Amino acid sequence: MPWFPDFVNAAQLARRETHTAGQADPVGQYLTALQGGDADPVETAWPGDVVVLDPRAGEVRGHRPLQQFVRRNQAWLAEHDAHIETLAAIRVGTRAVVELVARVVVEGRETTWPVAVVAESVDERSVVFRTYCSQVPVDGRRHVRPPILEAGGAAPRLDDVVDHYVAALEAGDIMALTGMFASQGYLREPIGANATHRGAAELRSYFARCFSAGGGIGLQQCARTDDGTDCAVEYNVVRWGSHDLAPQAGLGVFERSPDGLLAAVRVYDDVEAPLLHG
């Protein structure tokens, strides 16, 4: 009996390995697809539904739209000489949140672009990718992002600094907010590292400017990914000061210090504060 390579079993093994790798690191595989322009490994890892909720492209669902979306992103990243670095990651159960910093060349100068990607596997065959960012670093404009999750999916923990922060933010309580940060704690705005506020004096100045529109900022909490040290909250902004806003989607990452205070808050949204008009 002549011997032939077992191509069928080899292909099945390759698919199983791709599926296992995709479940172990769904965001990593997704980013590899975006940079390489090939969505096949993602669809092999998740043979059910793959849904992308993207600030620029909206909802992407189905094989052909996903392939087109991935190819467009690869072309855009190559055109802007983009380099992507992972900043931090949180994984709890079926949900993973990865924070990224993309260094892109826009109009001849390099700029940093903070981006966060949430991967949530609704079952062993299907996955949803939700991306949060501001587009100011790449096109100089803010874009209204309608809600992508319903409110009420994150139960508050009354003894936790994250919920104390959200409550103080809504109340516009500057002293309470600055007191929640560790001595070298910082808040980074969505537009990049050049908008980082570190230490009590800078934080007080930042929150005073935020609340100059007539009060605090109202958030609806939609989903929470919390490993005990880092916590990512997906939310909708519905009020800024005395101004009611059309609900806009965003994500905040809260990094706790060992003493239970906030070492860092990093924000990913494209909300245009009413106080900035004029």
Are 49 and 101 part of one and the same domain? yes
What stretches of the chain show up as alpha helix (H) in DSSP?
7-24, 26-36, 40-45, 63-79, 136-139, 161-171, 174-179, 199-210
Residue 193: the pLDDT is 87
Does residue 5 surpass a pLDDT of 90?
no
More confident residue, 94 or 19: 94
Are 165 and 266 part of one and the same domain? yes
Residue 144: the pLDDT is 87
Instruction: Give domain status of residue 138, yes or no.
Output: no
Residue 28: the pLDDT is 93
Burial of 72 (0-12, 13-18, 19+ CB in 10 A): middle
* Cβ count within 10 A of residue 257: 16
Residue 84: the pLDDT is 93
Which amino acid belongs to residue 267? V
Each residue's pLDDT tens digit, 24-74? 799 999 999 999 999 999 999 999 999 999 999 999 998 899 999 999 999
Domain range for residue 77?
7-133
Give the chain's domain count: 2
Does residue 18 surpass a pLDDT of 90?
no
The per-residue pLDDT of the chain, averaged, comes to 89
Each residue's pLDDT tens digit, 66-118? 999 999 999 999 999 999 999 999 999 999 999 999 999 999 999 999 999 99
CB 126 within 8 A of CB 46: yes
Are 13 and 119 part of one and the same domain? yes
Does residue 203 surpass a pLDDT of 90?
yes
Q: Please tell me the distance from the alpha carbon of residue 103 to that of residue 85, in angstroms, as a whole number.
A: 8
Q: What is the CATH number of the domain that holds 99?
A: 3.10.450.50
11: Cα separation from own chain's centroid: 34
Structural domain ending residue among the three candidates 94, 114, 133: 133
Instruction: Give domain status of residue 141, yes or no.
Output: no
